[in-house]
Structure 1
Amino acid sequence: MNLRKLAAVSLVVSLPFMGVAQAQQKGFNKAKMDSLLSVMESKDKIMGTVAVYQDGKPVYNRAIGYATIADQGKDKATTATRYRVGSISKTFTATLILQLVDEKKLSLNTPLSTYFPQFENASTITIEHLLNHRSGLTSFTSVPTYGLYMTQPKTQEEMLSIMASLKPKAEPGTNYDYSNTNYVLLGYVVERVTKKPYAEVLQKKIVDKLKLKDTYYGGKIDKNKKEASSYAFVNSQWTASPETDMSIPHGAGAVVSTTKDLAIFIQGLLNGKLISQTSLEKMKTMKDAYGLGLQKYSFNNHVGYGHGGIIDGFQSMIKYFPEQKLTMATTFNGLGMSANNAHIGIQSIMFNLPYQIPTYETPKNLSLDLSKYEGTFVSQQFPLKVTMFKEGDKLMSQAQGQSAFNLEPRSAQTFVFDPANIEIEFKANEAGVYDQFTLKQGAGKYIFTKE
């Protein structure tokens, strides 16, 4: 387990209410959004593209950072740069499935056994269970062995064998449990029903209908196709992330796109251009905060629909707020901070809410004896030992068997690692040595003491 991978992206954010009329009267503050993205870029907090649409028209689209970083040079990102969008692919797949339902070629009650009887509980798992993550099937990406093959090509038969070998976590229909297995299977169902490759069906039934220019089933990243690679900001530099082979995520995460295409897609979907009104309402009906390939968001008491996506070092998000006819689309290929915190800033400006642009500066006049924080720490709540050590003028943290990363001080007691939204609060003993700390991440809180 990697501390950096503990990050849980918060998808529902609320801020104090401000009326829609007030926000709309002010108009979109392009200068403020530019200021936010500029400081994020200068402080190595984000690389990627941000777009805002109002009434179906673009009011903002800007790229920052680099699409690729290599020994032979760096390629600046542009608004035409294409990014892997991870689990936003699930919304595309759910749309294809519901189109087949509208065409009477499939039913939400069709059992999984119709296509893949080798799965346990296949006769009682329905297409709807797969769509709303209530199948009980274990996500193949949650199993430790996933990391051993994620960069290697896999055939459909090999993936089916891997997924079918995993013991279910629950009986069908009983619990919500987000599982990439569900949407890989749904992608395969699209192919079985249409007798065509997923990529071809995606092109015909969504891309062509909405006249998208830069959306397709991805392959090996090719910068000559304006495709971005992904990075993590570790130890003060951008480091290339592993590249998942796209034969693996299939309908769960293999789509490549741009902010422009993503905005057009979510607006077209929510405005009834791709599926029937009946199917759209089912898609928007939430059970445990998840519909049929859609999630519901609240921001400043405004309600939106969309989906987020993470794959390798990429993080993307689309949200459409129907009442305000506002759309946000982001495609990040490098993060040195929490994506959720970035989205709070972007949406605050989008809705013209009071928002102070962070400086991301380390507190000045903070003189610390980093040797007082050093040591190996253990927790009854966390399975790995964590070592704190100084490297020059930096405090480093390293979980057992994992890479070390730099903790940034916010005070004498508080340090952060923004990419994973981690905050560490130290507690000193009577001698002034820090022999205990609390690691906070999202709703999680883990207490460590020095060995």
Structure 2
Amino acid sequence: MHNFTNEENLRSDVFITKPKSEKEMIAIISKFKSDFDPNSKAEYSNSNYVLLSYILEKIYKKSYSVVLDSKIITPLGLKNTYFGNNTKNQNDEAYSYHFTDKWEKGTDTDPSIPMGAGAIVSNPTDLTLFIEGLFNGKIVSEKSLSLMKTLNQNFGMGMFEVPYFDHKGYGHTGGIDDFRSILAYYPNEKLSVAITSNGMIYPNNNILKCALSSYFNKPFEMPTFNLLELKPEVLDLYTGQYSSTEIPIKIDITRNENKLFAQATGQPAFPLDATETNIFKFDQAGIVLEFNTNKKQMVLKQGGKEFVFSK
């Protein structure tokens, strides 16, 4: 089932800030064809979770927020979890922010659009209580939990594996507007870890790795945040369009004053920070770009993989 949030026009402020009815959302989701045949592939889809919210409302004949409260929030005693509304600072709620050259307030998605895919408000304490309750049989049966943990092409039912060396964990990540979250549980250690952020300039996954290295007594190389100021004539050496025979995208490198920007095909531009004269990074996505002007090449490093691009 196609993920409707992959469509750029369905992520616009005009669309996501206005309430939508069930009828409207089903009409939007149903106009897209399937991305692939059942059981042939696996991808995350917000559309599925929106529809599951409506299915719950029909089964219980109650609103999703009431079902959420009666089945999860109240039984687990979660004091900071609820179905959200428009963000209000006076309720001790935080807006989300993104960083370009400065911090800017993110869009506030109306909760009627994501429903169970992103309208739930919580904090790290409640998230850890939730996943401990889930694994201790307080929400679903042991049989159902076993089904949730059964992975097919790296996906289980509502969770995926979060390994750390030889330690097996389960959990999920989340993101809406500029909010981000990570939740993981390691059954053998009975360890739960949760991170939430309302503005990210350094990957939460790197923070998770640091926390886990501390708990499991593994070595961890602390990051450095020393950046270089390079002159425009140096930055101009790297500008241009780069393509690769390894992945089907092109990346445009441009300069705006004393800053380089990268933009991949069909994606928004993002700023690059110089760590060395020819090495740049974008921490939010864990991207490192290394330029070789003699060979007219650029190496993209992300997620432990490297791809060579030619200018």
Alpha-carbon displacement from aligned partner over 1:338-372 (angstroms, at most 9, x marks no partner): 222222112112323222432322369x8895244
Deviation at 1:427, TM superposition (A): 1.4
Deviation at 1:373, TM superposition (A): 2.4
Do residues 336 (structure 1) and 201 (structure 2) align?
Answer: yes
| Residue type at the aligned position of 1:440 | K
Alignment of 1:175-194 (within 5 A): 175-194=41-60
Alignment of 1:223-262 (within 5 A): 223-235=89-101, 237-262=102-127
| Residue type at the aligned position of 1:438 | V
| Residue type at the aligned position of 1:437 | M
**Aligned counterparts of 1:385 and 1:210: Cα–Cα separation in 2:** 47
Q: Any idea what SS the aligned residue of 2:185 has?
A: strand
Alpha-carbon displacement from aligned partner over 1:139-158 (angstroms, at most 9, x marks no partner): 11112321231232211100
Distance verdict in 2 for CA 1:399–1:138, change over 3 Å: closer
Distance verdict in 2 for CA 1:368–1:143, change over 3 Å: closer
**Aligned counterparts of 2:40 and 2:268: Cα–Cα separation in 1:** 38
Counterpart of 2:3 (choices 120, 139, 152) is 139
Task: Note if contact 2:228-2:277 (Cα within 8 Å) is conserved in structure 1.
Answer: no
**Aligned counterparts of 2:41 and 2:182: Cα–Cα separation in 1:** 25
Q: Any idea what SS the aligned residue of 1:157 has?
A: helix
Do residues 391 (structure 1) and 252 (structure 2) align?
Answer: no
Task: Note if contact 1:373-1:388 (Cα within 8 Å) is conserved in structure 2.
Answer: no
Task: Note if contact 1:150-1:245 (Cα within 8 Å) is conserved in structure 2.
Answer: yes
Do residues 206 (structure 1) and 67 (structure 2) align?
Answer: no
Counterpart of 2:301 (choices 423, 440, 449) is 440
Q: Any idea what SS the aligned residue of 2:74 has?
A: helix
Counterpart of 1:422 (choices 274, 287, 309) is 287
Alignment of 1:34-433 (within 5 A): 137-148=1-12, 149-235=15-101, 237-362=102-227, 369-379=233-243, 386-392=252-258, 394-397=259-262, 405-429=270-294
Task: Note if contact 1:263-1:329 (Cα within 8 Å) is conserved in structure 2.
Answer: yes
Alpha-carbon displacement from aligned partner over 1:170-191 (angstroms, at most 9, x marks no partner): 2233322221111111111000
Alpha-carbon displacement from aligned partner over 1:214-261 (angstroms, at most 9, x marks no partner): 1111111111111111112222x2222222221111111211001111
**Aligned counterparts of 2:145 and 2:183: Cα–Cα separation in 1:** 17
What is the number of residues matched between the two proteins?
307
Gaps of 5+ in 1: 1-136
**Aligned counterparts of 1:405 and 1:170: Cα–Cα separation in 2:** 30
Task: Note if contact 1:414-1:424 (Cα within 8 Å) is conserved in structure 2.
Answer: yes
Task: Note if contact 2:253-2:260 (Cα within 8 Å) is conserved in structure 1.
Answer: no
| Residue type at the aligned position of 1:242 | T
Q: Indicate the larger mover: 261-270 or 371-380.
A: 371-380
Distance verdict in 2 for CA 1:409–1:160, change over 3 Å: same
| Residue type at the aligned position of 1:141 | T
| Residue type at the aligned position of 1:195 | K
Task: Note if contact 2:195-2:204 (Cα within 8 Å) is conserved in structure 1.
Answer: no
Distance verdict in 2 for CA 1:144–1:446, change over 3 Å: farther
**Aligned counterparts of 1:322 and 1:402: Cα–Cα separation in 2:** 38
TM-score calculated relative to the size of structure 1: 0.63
Q: Indicate the larger mover: 439-448 or 333-342.
A: 439-448
Larger C-alpha radius of gyration, 1 or 2?
Answer: 1
| Residue type at the aligned position of 2:220 | Y
TM-score calculated relative to the size of structure 2: 0.89
Task: Note if contact 1:317-1:331 (Cα within 8 Å) is conserved in structure 2.
Answer: yes
Task: Note if contact 2:238-2:293 (Cα within 8 Å) is conserved in structure 1.
Answer: no
Deviation at 1:307, TM superposition (A): 1.2
How large is the Cα RMSD of the aligned pairs?
2.5
Percentage of matched positions with identical amino acids: 39
Task: Note if contact 2:84-2:121 (Cα within 8 Å) is conserved in structure 1.
Answer: yes
| Residue type at the aligned position of 1:217 | F
Deviation at 1:385, TM superposition (A): 5.7
Whose relative contact order is higher, 1 or 2, with alpha carbons under 8 Å and at least 6 apart? 1
**Aligned counterparts of 1:283 and 1:218: Cα–Cα separation in 2:** 25
